[in-house]
Amino acid sequence: MATKATKQTPAEKLLDLIGPVDRYHDHAANGDFGMPARMTMEDYLEPVAYAGPASRLGPLEKVHAFWFAGMSCDGCTVSVTGAQAPSIESLLLGAHPGLPRVILHHPVVNIESGPAYLRAHEDAIKGELDAPYVIILEGSISDETIAHPVGGYWS
């Protein structure tokens, strides 16, 4: 059985300094802002995605993947978008039997932008996303709690 350490993690210290994250976008008020195609990436790919008993051997139909870039890094993005076995397209379409379809939330490849891009992120934070999700982080993670007392930042 795991026990919680009494010492705060760097992330917990930073959240204590900046306060709670409690602001979400009012999507009804934003209208089509950030949605040039008036649809999400998931809506765009849904009609052509593979689905059915033969393509889903596991318990999940889809899984959301939230992709974040750390400090000055995009090498993993370049590698993934150029991969061939499997290709990012085949993962997005659910073309691999036994694997769930991947709903990718990536700032470079998504068709949404602005508040529309953040909608799924906010739904995940609130526990309202329609499927399980994973978080992918490429690059390094800075520790701003070290720099905060002197008013600086890490780069």
- Domain assignment present for 68: yes
| pLDDT tens per residue, range 2-24 | 555 678 777 677 667 766 655 55
Q: pLDDT digits over 103-141, tens only?
A: 999 988 888 888 888 889 999 988 999 999 999 988 877
Which 8-state DSSP code applies to residue 71? Answer: B
Checking if the pLDDT of 99 tops 90, the result is no
The reported pTM is 0.69
Residue 116 lies in a domain: yes
Per the prediction, the chain carries an average pLDDT of 77
Greater pLDDT, 132 or 144: 132
Number of structural domains, the chain?
Answer: 1
Name the token pair of 68.
């974040």
Per-residue pLDDT at 134: 95
Structure confidence by residue, pLDDT tens digits, 71-85: 777 777 788 888 888
Question: Which residues in 124-151 are b (16+ Cβ under 10 Å) and which e?
Answer: beeeebeeebeeeebeeeeebbeeeeee
Residue 5 lies in a domain: no
CB atoms within 10 A of CB 84: 7
User: Is a pLDDT exceeding 60 seen at residue 87?
Assistant: yes
Give the pLDDT score at 9: 74
Q: Residue 23 class from Cβ within 10 Å (0-12 exposed, 13-18 middle, 19+ buried)?
A: exposed
> Mean per-residue pLDDT for 82-98?
84
Q: Please report whether residue 91 resides in a domain.
A: yes
Would you say 10 and 143 are in contact if contact means Cβ atoms under 8 Å apart? yes
More confident call, 55 vs 116? 116
Domain that holds residue 135: 37-150
pLDDT at 146 over 70: yes
